[in-house]
């Protein structure tokens, strides 16, 4: 299988089957569903990496999506979404996604997230503790 995420990033992948609710009137996965998948997988990744204490104190909000649609997906196909944090600066992270059907890249997405303090509801600088969650190199990386 080809390499889908950078080796020095803590990546996450989720595999699932396309169901009827993902299909639009053109008979393929609706473009908005790809964005839905990226958000769901990002939350899964965060949920695995962060402690309950951290999740209680901070939240992430999307402030920008960029997506390139390269090929179509259809009902009953098996899809894998790969994600990782490419960069973290100030209050923002850049999260990357690759969406595959087998070996075929269907879409690439770059999403900018802003870290928010759960109590004040204001942007919060990404601390070293939070940055470490996404950047530590470990042979047991989540893949």
Give the C-alpha separation, 3 to 1, whole Å: 7
- Could you state, in chain order, the average pLDDT of each consecutive group of 10 residues for the chain (143 residues)? 61 95 96 96 94 95 96 97 94 96 97 97 94 63 39
What is the C-alpha to C-alpha distance for residues 22 and 32, in angstroms, rounded to an integer?
A: 9
Domain 12-135: give its CATH code: 3.10.129.10
pLDDT of residue 131: 87
What is the predicted pLDDT for the residue at 68?
Answer: 97
Residue boundaries of the structural domains of the chain: 12-135
Place of tokens 């979404």: 81
């Amino acid at each position: 299988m080809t390499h889908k995420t950078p080796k020095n990033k803590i990546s996450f992948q989720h595999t699932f089957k396309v169901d009827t609710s993902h299909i639009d009137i053109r008979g393929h996965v609706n473009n908005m569903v790809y964005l839905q998948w990226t958000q769901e997988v990002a939350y899964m990744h965060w949920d695995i990496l962060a402690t309950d204490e951290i999740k209680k104190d901070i939240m992430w909000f999307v402030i920008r999506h960029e997506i390139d649609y390269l090929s179509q997906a259809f009902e009953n196909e098996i899809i894998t979404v790969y994600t990782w944090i490419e960069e973290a600066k100030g209050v923002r992270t850049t999260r990357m996604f690759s969406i595959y059907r087998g070996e075929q890249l269907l879409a690439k997405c770059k999403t900018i997230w802003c870290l928010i303090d759960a109590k004040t509801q204001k942007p919060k600088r990404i601390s070293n503790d939070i940055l470490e969650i996404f950047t530590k190199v470990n042979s047991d990386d989540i893949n």
